[in-house]
Amino acid sequence: MTNSIQFSDRLRKQGYRLTPQRLAILQILIDSGGHLSPQQVFEQARELTPGITEPTVYRTLSFLSEEGILMPTHEASGSLVYEVASDLHHHLVCRSCGESLEIEHAALETLYKTLRKQTGYALDDRHITLFGLCPGCQGG
């Protein structure tokens, strides 16, 4: 189970302060158990931390993503959403109905290795979103 204490300790050990705003935003995403847009995070953060501004939420989401605590991804609409980076996984998203399916990293491990071998690139992106049509929307 993911909790804010493990992330708080991690940030402190790296020399970062855990401000009330950072803690509130992190807790919102942990409690959501899923994906939230920056606007959804802002609306919830306003309730927990009166006076928090939208730019603060965006900066904090960016900071927590850069530190590997949050993982940004895109919905079918192309909208950016965030989730806690608790395990390494990717997403399949249906362009028609918006259904999102998590897939384990192991399913793409061979692709990562092949790309490294062919290009020399060491991929450091922890997340890929692939778009297509789910079985229900493919028609037939």
For 33-76, how does the pLDDT look when each residue is reduced to its tens digit (9 = 90+)? 778 999 999 999 999 898 999 999 999 999 998 888 888 887 77
Over residues 79-104, the pLDDT tens digits come to: 888 988 776 778 888 888 888 888 88
CATH of domain 89-137: 3.30.1490.190
Question: What percent of the chain stands above pLDDT 70?
Answer: 92
- The alpha carbon dihedral of 99, 100, 106, 110 has a sign of positive
Render 43-81 in DSSP notation, one character per residue. HHHHHHSTT--HHHHHHHHHHHHHTTSEEEEE-TT--EE
Q: Which fold has domain 4-84?
A: Arc Repressor Mutant, subunit A (1.10.10)
Reported as a pLDDT band with limits 50, 70 and 90, residue 1 is very low
- pLDDT-based confidence at residue 129 (cuts at 50, 70, 90): confident
Domain boundary assignment for the chain:
4-84, 89-137
